Amino acid sequence: MNRKEALEMVKPHLTEHRYTHTLGVRDTALTLAEKMGADQDKAEIAAIFHDYAKFRSKDEMRGIIKEQQLDEDFIHYGDELLHAPAGAHLVKKEIGIADEEILSSIFWHTTGRPEMSNMEKVIFLADYIEPNRKFPGVEQVRETAEKDMDEAIRNALSNTVTFLLQKNQPVFPGTLKAYNDITFKKQ
């Protein structure tokens, strides 16, 4: 599968807006992968498919998490979390992507996790800072990413946790663990 075929495969699953976001994540992931010494071809494929499941029904995604015996916290901490683990499963099953580095960066792209691999960091951060993102604080994270990827990820996780607390939303335990992990390592 080349880049053009990958884009053709993902496009019917996304809205115009989400496809534009996906192209932004692809471009940013290529830059970050080069900086981190991660495989650029894999980063590109992971970026192209990272939101593959975004528009699947919640019931289908919850069903996958149960059937595949994935961590049920993904079901209980907010519906926005479902598309990441469900997407990793669906790109394996429907697209035939078998590479574990690609699949796990799709799996963890929304929440992050402790001990993230370089590829997971690339996709997590590219999703957060790609040029079409407009939310408060994103410019600061973009600037930090130029100098220190881990600090940028820590800022992104901290912004997400703060945003969830302000809306009285639950915080996925893995997101807090990811924040703590990166914070301890920086001390």
Residue 58 to residue 3: CA distance in whole angstroms: 29
Nearest alpha-carbon partner for 68 in 57, 82, 80: 82
- Cα 123–127–131 angle (5° rounding)? 125
Q: Please identify, among the stretches 32-40, 64-72, 76-84, 93-101, the one whose residues bind ligand DGI according to the rule CB under 6 A.
A: 76-84
The pair of three-digit structure tokens given for residue 177, joined into one six-digit string: 């663990």
Nearest alpha-carbon partner for 121 in 134, 139, 109, 133: 109
Residue 77 binding partner per list ligand DGI, Fe ion, none, with a CB distance cut-off of 5 to 8 Å that depends on partner kind: ligand DGI
Query: Which of 42/51 has CB closer to ligand DGI?
Result: 51
Q: Among residues 49, 74, 107, 172, which is the contact residue for ligand DGI, using CB under 6 A? A: 172
Residues of span 15-74 touching Fe ion by CB under 5 A? 51
Q: Please identify, among the stretches 62-70, 93-101, 103-111, 141-149, the one whose residues bind ligand DGI according to the rule CB under 6 A.
A: 103-111
The pair of three-digit structure tokens given for residue 183, joined into one six-digit string: 């914070």
Residue 4 to residue 152: CA distance in whole angstroms: 30
Binding residues vs ligand DGI (CB under 6 A): 21, 51, 54, 77-78, 80-81, 84, 109-111, 127, 160, 164, 169-172, 175
Binding residues vs Fe ion (CB under 5 A): 51, 127-128
